[in-house]
Amino acid sequence: MKFNASIKNQFCYGIDAVIMNPSKMKDSLIVIFAIVILTIFSGCSKQEINREVNGLEVKRPNILLIVADDMGYTDIGAFGGEIDTPNIDMLASSGLSFSNFHTAPMCAVTRAMLLSGNDNHIAGMGSQDLNSQAFGYEGHLTDRIVPLPALLQKAGYHTSMVGKWHLGTAPDHLPANKGFAQSFIIPEGVANHYSDKGWLARDPVSTYLENNEPVKWKEGDYSTDVYTSKIIEYIDNNKDSDKPFFAFAAYTSPHWPLQVDEAYWKKYEGKYRDGYEVLRQNRFTSLKKLGLIAESAELPDTHESVKPWSTLSADEKLIEERKMELYAGMVDNLDVNIGRIVDYLKQTNQFENTLIVFMSDNGAAANDFYYHPYFAEFLNANYTDAYAEMGKKDSFISYGPQWAEAGSAPFRYFKGYTTQGGITSPMLISGAMVKHKGTVTKTFTSLLDIAPTFYEYAQIDYPESFLGKEVYPLKGASMASLLEQKADFLHDANYVFAMEHRHNIVVRKGDWKLVNETKPFDPQNFALYNLAEDAGEQNNLKGEYPLVYQDMLAHWQTYKLESQVQFPTPSGVSK
């Protein structure tokens, strides 16, 4: 008689529930049945089904997924940054760092892929913030996939999340209906860090929900601090329940508006006096020293929207310095809060059996909506950009493409693009099951590989159908063998990764990359790069390698058909 791990696990938890509640055993037949089942599943413990790692049986781990919002590739110390991030760096030194990890170019799109293990169109987020009846553009997680927390919850995990949801606002689309037992979230993608003051005329007050019910934000409380306290509370609620946990900390930091307490940004006062071009070069040099990029790597050309530092006035330079000081303070505060979670896990003896994943959702953000024609009227009337108020709850500041380029070094461009600067993020994985300690892997990985990894450690077989409906298979692969030093790479040279968002496309196969960054969409604008030799995407090779180019175009067509890619227009989507 053979049972898969998830079925066996449900039996174990069911038997535990009966034994822990003797009053529910109303007659001897139930007792006899329980004894028989316990005999069959004598390997069941209260908390887990064991799996074998390096010859030893280990528990199903707790899983902690931490996602920073719009954090640049080089912002943390472990990836060449000057910002003080000892707690995040500790995860790097105690685990495996991924220097070739790929996200989607925008927040909601990444979240859809992350929580589904599938393409953003199949998951329902073909275009961020576009809600449509068309396949792939529904604006919420669809029934074509199984939400990651739903499957973990079904397998006996206690599931919780805090922070940014950004995957639909209707009741059926919120976390409580996607597998999270507990949640404290902002449904939308942007929020004031100190209050519920909105940033759009149509939503002048931001909504916060706890377990799908509206709650009031306490004025003056800081977002990252609140979300950390909540996720610790949720984990603590579960610590005596004999269930492993899955906790998703989806922070809104360091996403604009740049707001943080003075105690954090003051640490960086004067550090950015030399400007964004110098910071970009310094971080690029640090990456080489750390071995994260090749010695032969070169910085790509600067985005056309970036003004040279030397052309700014003295007052403009002061404002620019303060922007980066605030941003650094937000990353610093984020690190402190991650330290709070780690300390809690250690104090409660849960740290050793917790798989921790830290990542950013996309490249650094260049947006500056305070001056954008569509947003400016509301923002100018309700916020200020005055120098003396920068960083406070009524200020609305972004750091723009100039600092985003420094955060995206050594790559080209930033959030919104499918160039490397928009879709390459640092990822760190730590935990007792991770045999690497302080090492870096350059093997290609993506968002699609995270769900399969969690499923393997949770001993879950991904189903062919869910809630009576057929679902698409996972697109990634488990990283367990890589983490446990049983493999040196994850995907071979024939593996194809592809995605599209708002006319921006990427197709990866080995070292080759096909990319489009031009609107309106026209395949004639596709460019071909060899990232092993040109990580900055400066040398378009489609004319020199026509066979490779045709092969990559064929993969694009295959992907386009499978994912039913369409293209957004002001009135909806079109083929």
Residues labelled as active-site residues: 107, 166
- Please state, in angstroms and rounded to a whole number, the distance separating the CA atoms of residues 355 and 357: 7
- Please state, in angstroms and rounded to a whole number, the distance separating the CA atoms of residues 332 and 261: 11
- In this structure, the number of other CB atoms found within 10 A of the CB of residue 561 comes to 9
- Please state, in angstroms and rounded to a whole number, the distance separating the CA atoms of residues 178 and 146: 9
Q: Which of 333, 398, 395, 390 is nearest to 365 (CA)?
A: 398
Burial of 35 (0-12, 13-18, 19+ CB in 10 A): exposed
Dihedral class, residue 428 (left if φ above 0, else alpha if ψ from -120 to 50, else beta): beta
Residue carrying structure tokens 């822990």: 20
- Please state, in angstroms and rounded to a whole number, the distance separating the CA atoms of residues 14 and 3: 15
- For 335-358, letters b (16+ CB in 10 Å) and e give bbbbbbbbebbeeeebbebbbbbb
Contacts of 521-530 with CB under 8 Å at 24 or more apart are: 521/567, 523/553, 523/556, 526/553, 526/556, 528/552
Give the residues across from 440 on adjacent strands.
Answer: 97
- In this structure, the number of other CB atoms found within 10 A of the CB of residue 312 comes to 15
Whether 199 and 192 have beta carbons less than 8 Å apart is answered as yes
